[in-house]
Structure 1
Amino acid sequence: MDQLLSTIRGLDGNTQTLIRKIELLKSLEADVHAELQNAAHLSPKKRKREVEDWLINVEKNIREFESLEQEVQSNIRAYSKQNLAEQVERMTKEVAELVEQGNFSGGLFIEDNESIGQLLLTGPEFLQNFNDIWASLMDDNVLSIGIYGMGGVGKTTLAKRAHDKLLNESKYMPHVFWVTISQEFSIYKLQNYISQALKIGISKESDEKKRTAELFQALKNMGKFVLILDDVSKHIDTENIGILLGMDGCKLVITSRSLEVCHQMGCQKIIKVNTFSEKESWELFSKKLDCVELSPEVEEICKKMTKRCSGLPLALVTLAGSTRGMTDIHEWRDASEELDESCMGQADMENGVLPILMYAFNRLKDPKLKSCFLYCSLYPEDYDIPRDELIANFISEELMDTRLSRRAEFDQGHAILNKLEKACLVEIWTDREVVKMHDLIRDMALTITKHNPRYMVKAGLELTEIPKIQNWTEDLDKVSLMDNSIHDISPDTSPKCPRLSSLILSKNYLLKFIPECFFEQIRGLCVLNLSETSIEQLPNSISDLEKLNALLLGGCGNLVYVPPLEKLRLLRQLDLTGTSIEEVPQGMESLTNLKILYLICCNLKIMPTGILHRLSHLQELTLPYHVLHPTDVEGLKQLELFDGRLNSVSDLNRLIKSQQSEGRLRSYHIIIKKPGEVFGYDEYYPPCKVVHFGNDCLADYSLDVEDNLLPQDIEELLFEGSGLSCCLLDYFPMLNNANDLKKCDIAVEDKIECIMRISSTEEEQQSCGVPFQSLEDLALYCLPNFIGLLKWEGGGAAAPLPRGAFSQLKMLYIYDCGKMTMLLPGSLVQNLHNLQKLDVSNCDEMEEIIGDDGRDPTAKSSANVTLPKLKDLSLMNLSKLKSICKGTMICDSIESISIFNCTELKKFPLLLDGQPSAPRFLKDIKIGRDEKQWWESLEWDHPNAHNVLQPLLRLYW
């Protein structure tokens, strides 16, 4: 930066303006990111497209400025002032525009369905209600507040707005908690909900009084707090739960459809949320309709339709979503007629929302949309439905069109959910990747499924036994009993449900036994979900479910026996993840239609040869890391996800070559271990792109470009005692152009000396590409012969480090590298403008952290070092460390410094930015308890540095 400034200081005033605005832009970017991060933990807010675009442009301009700096530093004489002046002028203008745009007066987020648009948040009655609530929250004499009104009127929106503001209120921060109450709840379940919201432990035993005492004590220790209970449908005795309203500073806020419930719970302040006026209703409907201009005739029809909504925001939004995009007058007339018929005979305003929601459902002309929407109601009320899990279930249930690949099916599933969101029938919380249903919309879906299709949904109700046999009617299509406490099924239970296609018993953690006769009269079953139960063995009658499409047993840790499967020839998905089976189920080689096979089971002893070869349609395959026949995997031409083990680098090469020709493999976690080597325990690894080289698998392989292949899109690369020697890039030259590699760990490698070589000529260096240009996380552990990240070839001045190499590095960890004397050469540091964490420990020969590599004749040993994003610096057990850097270290973003057992260090080069104050983000400086004398003896560049930093000193150990 200093060289850049000295060069451009003689240019016009735009230079200083650009520098100031770049710093302002960085601060503004940090503020926006902080607000986005805070919002991610609250309500389902979506970023505006303009915010996304702004962040992209900010990053682009900052990188361009940093690139300009590097260009000037590397070629200072050749860089013309005229060219520089032109770039400065252009960048100044662009950055100024970004600073102006970054204020986002309209906010960062698109209002979600629950918040019912900006009108609801700014309407006069809403503001009046909010002010009343806020005044009560600030009034120490008001202990409880009730917000009531009919379903869909905006009570939750009002409470959420108060919740969001409380999070920034020092009086209660950070003790502000939100709990959504289902219609069917118990004291035990409510205690669980509250303890989870408070992030405190509570005993699992059934003694409610003991749990009440535990919760009471935890709340008492918190001091002042606010607990918001959303959608309370009946009286809750808070003292029986563990909430004593007399506690100092305790505030309780409830939302309810019932005024009586507010009175029963002793709410001292009760606020009614009224429906919208006719004017407000029309404004909200128009906003959600998102139509530029309506003809007078269409507008008249729309206003007539909005009156049907009786001022209920949920009904208005849903109606607008179901009619959005219509342009023809005939369509509008038909829609109005259809709505009239749907609402005929509905005079009760409270119940009048149901026909509106039903109308929106009926306007889903595509049967796939209807089926997928109704499927969402199989989950418990107020449930956070994982989006990927939901789409996987759509596929298992065959609710969508068949596609050639798993990715294409997921794309179709995402498109369907997006259409349902646009119709305002589901909410998608993008930041958490979950789907939610408003409780009234779920009620509407359950009303539909009382007839055709016919569902029995008793999910999340804490049932201890399955419904009585009379509830299992012959016309049932789907049954969901998930997330209950069912612990047993009577031995003579045999439901007669010939049409039943789906049975969901997942998350019944106490369920251990299913009788043999249970499946005898439900032979049409297509999906059986018993995941996350305590079932120990499956009844043999499962072998006769010949129409079964999906058998889901993931997380059944006690399961040791699965009956023969040879008759289940239609089975497409089999999930045995985490079970305790020791052998693959008998007849699995007959499942030739299988597309999904999850077999990560730690007790599985062997994978019989030839099975995988028979399962040629597999798209996703996960296998235990201690079991594999690699030649089977090589022949799976439709494979898109693979998580498992290969026995050699040659097996990896064959797999990569076969998959490159097909181009399907989109996610993989590959462990390479020699035969007989066991890789710890088996655990599902989240889908990504990882290759892990284990014990001595590289020891017998030559440094041959043709043999040692890696997938081109690899994201994580790990070496653990693999026999890696000399230089990493010698083994895998393709890493010179690995544009997706984000993480690299190298551990317990006795022979490796460096990560990359720097050749003696620029031409030779340029031919190698830009290595590690996307790498964000680099960790080096226990490398006794490692001498440095870089190794120069030949004598004299070497070619410069490729611009962009390591430029995205954020985390650098160096542990137990005994031969390293210098960590970072100066020529590398200039690329590390994104480094956030630097952690070095147990390097016995380390003398310098940042030093002069002696390869750049223009470099000055006393030059300042700038690490603009460094937040965490940790130096530990470096007994010979004498210098962090020769000049001054500039890192205004530093937050934490830890230095232990580095007593040869005489000077700390931290720059205080010319001010008698600590860096503004610095929170603490940690040293050992017996190192206080060493701290007192340190030299500082700033005369007042010791006094300024002393209050931040923390003594450990």
Structure 2
Amino acid sequence: MTEIVTTVASKAAEYLVAPVGRQCGYVIFSNSYVGQLKDELEELNYARQRVQHSIDEALNNMKRIEGDVMKWVKDAETVAKKARDVIDDDGRAKKTCFYGWLPNPKARYCLGRDARKTAQAIQPLIPQSKFERVCYESAPPGLVGGAPNVNSSTCDGGDTIQELIARGQFEKVDFENPPTVLFGGASGVNSSAGDGGDFITGSRASIFQDIMKALDDEKLKVIGVYGPGDVGKTTLLKEVEKKLGEPGRPFRMIVKVEVPQNPDLNDIIDQIADALSLDLKDKRSLQGKADVLSKRLKSNPDEKVLIIFDNLWVKLDLEAVGIPRKDVSSKCKLLLTSRFEDVLEKEMDADRIFHLQGLMDGEASMLFENKVGDKLKNNGELKSIADQVVKKLAGSPLLIISVANTLKSSDESAWRNALIEIDESSKIKTEMIVRMSYEHLKSEDVKYLFLLCGLIGGTIPVELLFVLAMGLGLFERFNKTLPDLRDRLNNTLNELRSTCLLLDGGDDKENVTIHDLYSEVVVSTPFRGQTSLMMNSNYGSWQKEKLEKCCAICLADVGRDRLAELMMCQFPSLKILMLSMPKVWDWSEEHQHDMGDCSGLLDFKGMKELQVLYLRFMHITNLPPSIKILGNLRSLYLYKCNVKDVAIIGKLKALQILSFGQSTISRLPKEIGELTNLRSLNLSNCYRLETIEPGVLEGLIKLEELAELKSLKRLTTMEISIPNPTILLENGDLPIGNLIKFWFNIGNVIGREFQGLTTMKLKLEGCGSILSKDWVQETLQKTQYLHLDGLGGFKKNAHELCVRGFTQLKHLNIENSPSIKYIASSSSDLPTAFTMLASLFLENLINLEKLCNGPLAPNCFSRLKAMHIKKCHRLENLWFQSKMQGLVHLEEIHICECDSLQAIITYDAGKVEVATDDMVKLPNVRWLNLQWLPNMMSFCTGVKGAPTQVLLPRLESLVMVGFFGLEKILYSEPSLKYSNLKWLEIKESKSTSIIPKDWTLKLPNLESMRIVHSPSAEVVFDLEELKVTRDAEILSWLMQLELFELPNLQCMWKQDGQLQGISIFRNLKRLFIKNIGLSFLFPVSMAKCLREIRDIEVDDCPNMKAVIMDEEGTNDARDDII
């Protein structure tokens, strides 16, 4: 009985003690288990890195990843995350119980148990990471999903690839070193651009990514890419194909078809069928083949197919070749390329179109320099040749790479010879590209306009093209108004852009640009048979036969000798003459004497067919009598010319366009009124115009556009500059009713301009009553940019200046106006104003007290982006906190010399209840410039003037002049950072320490800093008592530091021993020093951190003894190597 009891007890102990001991062990050995887990996690991380490296290498070689490898990666990531969570929860074990006398056993138990079990889960994964292989071969072209068995595939009679290699028939079948992938990483649209690292440069990366996103979009069925010839469209498609060949991509089939200029539909169907392994031998007719192909593409609704048609010239009938056209049920997508946007947009009805242009100059040069390596370093001659080579290759990445690879191992003579060869070959190739695109143009008007762009070259004002087109009668058959013809011109230019014969100018609607090579082709190639064009590049000894055929001349920087030589020739076919003398800045008597009078040189007897005459920068006392023979002249453009007498122009009865833009005429004679066919008269910026003789405008019965003045009811466009505004008081109103575009400068206002906006600039000293005139009030309603100068004794509120409200106003500039006390008012008698205002400029408003007088309508200033305020000495603050929610678009704040200003934003006590502890937020402010504000206490003040925190999350540039310290103006808690600040400039600081200790941590991404003229400064960076961790980095992205005029500066970096070993200014590259009091720049410990420093410039520093000294301020010899 005793033995039985003993046996039972022994067994019970055996089953109970071990588990109990294990559970107790979780408590006792928890720290040990956590340490073991950390070791296991470290080993797992090493294993994950090894596997990921193999995966990255395989994906960069376009191989597919084995399923078990991907499962291991997923399992390893899951358990690694679990391990990190356990380690992060180590703090649980440090909890205590019994009032701190004993450790908490429950917390230690949970930690120990989780740590041990997680470590056990990691252990089997580490040996499993040593895969025999992680990938297999990708699918062949055309078939993306499911690669064939490499070991069993045969070629020409059944030989396996391994057998062919063994017999030496293949040198290799794998590419060990793939080209650099631009984006890095292995998967995802944004992580890699295929293997075309050389091709997918910065400007093309976004297009590549957008194409990939469009292909993933189920709603988009037809996607197009257009661009000029040889720009790399086909190469871009190859990179797209490579990317789509990666695992996880949606397309099972990818078919690519190169489309000739005259496509053969049978051949296209056969190419698609071959790629799909579709047998069409039994089908002889085109319709029969198309039906079979259509059924094949629709047969499997889950099978996604991408068909690429490369280089479309004309519309391709998709239904005729059996391709479902935007069939919702079909999984077939199309990716198209063409030189012509209209082929994709109008004829192929593409859902999304991308424009691929040549590389920008900077990108092209960088690509070329990267390919030739160190060849260009310290070799100015080769660098000059390289710049010319890159320019002649017209931004083609393929040509740039090819030429660079050829030249990188060549000597200088080969480079010079290559420049000549490239010049000739690029002209031939460019001529072929331009001619093909030119012949594709549908109308003669478009072709002629392209030739005009080529004749002028470079960037061309659209207004100048309009003058030329009108002079040549390009749009004469339409019999439309000038605004309609301007619209037609813009449509024609868009057509040229869509064919890539003109460069895409983005948002610039005032100018167009043609590539230099295209311009050279236009001048050197007889596009129109007998036509010849003369410009600076081909000026020389022309034979008589060639002169007789010349239809256009465009010469810049013409000297007096060349002008005289030109005028002696006969040009019986000449239609366009454009001559420009060297540029002049003003027409003072000294400049007139230097330039000489061109009156005696101009002679138009040999140009009787001339239709357009454009003269620029010429001093012409009197236009020559020979101008009277130009009976066909329709456009006369005198730009920035000094012309004394223009009366003879009245003899040019066919004239339709006459422009004196920015010329120094003083009188518009009555003879101009004889131009009964004149439709446009431009007197803009003729600041010396004093007299318009009576009756001049009455005779201009067909005038539609007048860039000067008055009572012509058909006018839609007006530009006028009137130095003496009292003329308007005497002579009545201007014709405002039908104006669509206008620019008024009354009183000779000098200041900023906003191109393309309806503009009213008024200087009203002594004639403020003009504002009450009906035509002015009507104009103010349409005005987008208003500049007011000299408002005295008139309105106190800018809001009241327009009784009907500033409904279109985008930019407001008021200066030198002592009567203004407020900008906006809450009066119920006034309409809501400034709802569209984007920028506000106020200067020298000595009585301005507030921007807003009383509560305003919700939309007032709601779109404000920029504020520039200067010399408004009675202004104490700009905004109340309650208004901040309406200023979410504010981006720029510039405040200067406002003596009474105490804060930008203040608490509006008694108006609206605002939580005083709330942080004021200006979410989009990027530029802040505060100068000479002697009474400013803080950027934002709360109750009783106490500083309030302000959040500027997007601030990029900060300029402060004449302040005591950063922290006093931009008050904020130490944890608040200015993470986007890139530029900091401080002038006339009154503080002994420029950058206080907390601010060194608030500027993690600062790139450039300038400290100027601060005699009080003793320290630039005060790092004493700065509390940071050992791995902290201080101002790690600062790359340029400028210190000027700091005569009492004692040290640049003030720090204590706690910062030894901390990384400080590790990316500083440029340091510029002038007139500072330092005896040395860097202590040794600091100099060791400056590993990127490249340029150090020290000027006028009499106390400077050395650049680097030890921490005790001596330059004794040391063993340190820096």
TM-score, normalised on structure 2?
0.51
Q: 1:228 aligns with which of 387, 403, 424?
A: 387
Q: Does the CA-based 8 Å contact 1:821-1:846 persist in structure 2?
A: yes
d(CA) in 1 for partners of 2:730 and 2:404?
A: 59
Aligned residue in 1 for 2:844:
782
Aligned residue in 2 for 1:410:
486
Aligned residue in 2 for 1:923:
983
Confirm whether residue 116 of structure 1 aligns to residue 231 of structure 2. Answer: yes
Say if 1:51 and 1:532 are closer, same or farther in 2 by CA, change over 3 A: farther
d(CA) in 2 for partners of 1:825 and 1:487?
A: 68
Q: Does the CA-based 8 Å contact 2:981-2:1003 persist in structure 1?
A: no
d(CA) in 2 for partners of 1:905 and 1:731?
A: 39
Q: Which has the higher contact order (CA 8 A, sep 6+)?
A: 1
Aligned residue in 2 for 1:634:
711
Confirm whether residue 584 of structure 1 aligns to residue 654 of structure 2. Answer: no
Aligned residue in 2 for 1:907:
968
Give the CA deviation at 1:268: 11
Cα distance per residue 1:498-518 (max 9 Å; x no partner) = 443222223566896465783
Give the CA deviation at 1:847: 2.2
Q: Does the CA-based 8 Å contact 1:803-1:831 persist in structure 2?
A: yes
d(CA) in 2 for partners of 1:837 and 1:170?
A: 38
Q: Does the CA-based 8 Å contact 1:506-1:530 persist in structure 2?
A: yes
Q: Secondary structure at the match of 1:859?
A: coil
d(CA) in 1 for partners of 2:357 and 2:227?
A: 14
Aligned residue in 2 for 1:728:
798
Aligned residue in 2 for 1:15:
none
User: Structure 2, unaligned stretches of length 5 or more?
Assistant: 1-189, 191-200, 243-338, 340-355, 394-399, 584-594, 943-947, 1005-1020, 1027-1032, 1046-1122
Give the CA deviation at 1:266: 2.8
RMSD: 5.5
What pairs with 1:452-851 in structure 2 (closer than 5 Å)?
452=530, 454-455=531-532, 457-461=533-537, 463=539, 467=541, 470=544, 473-482=547-556, 487-490=561-564, 494-506=568-580, 513=598, 518-533=603-618, 537-557=622-642, 559-562=643-646, 564-584=648-668, 587-599=671-683, 600-623=685-708, 633-645=710-722, 647=725, 655=733, 658-660=735-737, 663=738, 665-673=739-747, 679=748, 686-696=755-765, 699-700=768-769, 708-723=777-792, 724-735=794-805, 738=807, 740-759=808-827, 764=828, 770-792=832-854, 800-851=855-906
Q: Secondary structure at the match of 1:503?
A: strand
What amino acid does structure 1 have at the position aligned with 2:667? E
What amino acid does structure 2 have at the position aligned with 1:819? R
d(CA) in 2 for partners of 1:374 and 1:467?
A: 23
Q: Secondary structure at the match of 1:443?
A: helix
What pairs with 1:261-276 in structure 2 (closer than 5 Å)?
265-267=413-415
Q: Does the CA-based 8 Å contact 2:936-2:969 persist in structure 1?
A: no
Give the CA deviation at 1:773: 1.9
Cα distance per residue 1:346-365 (max 9 Å; x no partner) = xxxx9799788656545545
Aligned residue in 2 for 1:399:
474
Give the CA deviation at 1:43: 11
Q: Secondary structure at the match of 1:267?
A: helix
Q: Secondary structure at the match of 2:387?
A: strand
Say if 1:698 and 1:167 are closer, same or farther in 2 by CA, change over 3 A: farther
Give the CA deviation at 1:435: 3.3
Q: Does the CA-based 8 Å contact 1:868-1:890 persist in structure 2?
A: yes
Computing the radius of gyration from Cα coordinates, the structure with the larger value is: 2
d(CA) in 1 for partners of 2:753 and 2:541?
A: 34
Cα distance per residue 1:857-884 (max 9 Å; x no partner) = 4213343110111122232222222232
Give the CA deviation at 1:528: 1.4
Q: Secondary structure at the match of 2:650?
A: coil
Aligned residue in 2 for 1:873:
928
Q: Secondary structure at the match of 1:119?
A: helix
Give the CA deviation at 1:552: 1.8
Give the CA deviation at 1:732: 1.4
What amino acid does structure 2 have at the position aligned with 1:695? L
Q: Does the CA-based 8 Å contact 2:622-2:646 persist in structure 1?
A: yes
d(CA) in 2 for partners of 1:697 and 1:429?
A: 44
Aligned residue in 2 for 1:211:
none
d(CA) in 1 for partners of 2:611 and 2:663?
A: 21
Cα distance per residue 1:235-293 (max 9 Å; x no partner) = xxxxxxxxxxxxxxxxx99969999998774339989999xxxxxxxxxxxxxxxxxxx
Say if 1:867 and 1:581 are closer, same or farther in 2 by CA, change over 3 A: same
Aligned residue in 2 for 1:61:
none
d(CA) in 2 for partners of 1:672 and 1:604?
A: 13
Aligned residue in 2 for 1:92:
none
Confirm whether residue 367 of structure 1 aligns to residue 444 of structure 2. Answer: yes
Q: Does the CA-based 8 Å contact 2:749-2:763 persist in structure 1?
A: no
Aligned residue in 2 for 1:245:
none
Q: Secondary structure at the match of 1:634?
A: coil
Cα distance per residue 1:144-164 (max 9 Å; x no partner) = xxxxxxxxxx9xx99948952
Q: Secondary structure at the match of 2:847?
A: coil
d(CA) in 2 for partners of 1:398 and 1:809?
A: 45
Say if 1:224 and 1:443 are closer, same or farther in 2 by CA, change over 3 A: closer
Q: Does the CA-based 8 Å contact 1:229-1:255 persist in structure 2?
A: no
Q: Secondary structure at the match of 2:632?
A: coil
What pairs with 1:274-285 in structure 2 (closer than 5 Å)?
none
Give the CA deviation at 1:595: 2.3
Cα distance per residue 1:510-535 (max 9 Å; x no partner) = 89646578322422321112223455
Q: Does the CA-based 8 Å contact 1:818-1:845 persist in structure 2?
A: yes
Q: 1:894 aligns with which of 933, 955, 977?
A: 955
Aligned residue in 2 for 1:25:
none
Q: Secondary structure at the match of 1:614?
A: coil
Say if 1:476 and 1:879 are closer, same or farther in 2 by CA, change over 3 A: closer
Per mean C-alpha deviation after superposition, the further-off stretch among 634-643 and 930-939 is 930-939
Q: 2:514 aligns with which of 436, 454, 461?
A: 436
Q: Secondary structure at the match of 1:228?
A: helix
User: Structure 1, unaligned stretches of length 5 or more?
Assistant: 1-30, 32-41, 53-96, 128-153, 178-215, 235-251, 275-311, 315-349, 624-631, 674-678, 793-799
Give the CA deviation at 1:753: 0.7
Give the CA deviation at 1:780: 1.3
d(CA) in 2 for partners of 1:123 and 1:271?
A: 30
Say if 1:906 and 1:554 are closer, same or farther in 2 by CA, change over 3 A: closer
d(CA) in 2 for partners of 1:482 and 1:271?
A: 26
Q: Secondary structure at the match of 1:409?
A: helix
Give the CA deviation at 1:227: 4.6
d(CA) in 2 for partners of 1:424 and 1:492?
A: 35
Say if 1:603 and 1:714 are closer, same or farther in 2 by CA, change over 3 A: closer
What amino acid does structure 1 have at the position aligned with 2:691? I
d(CA) in 2 for partners of 1:888 and 1:505?
A: 62
Q: Secondary structure at the match of 2:981?
A: coil
Give the CA deviation at 1:490: 4.2
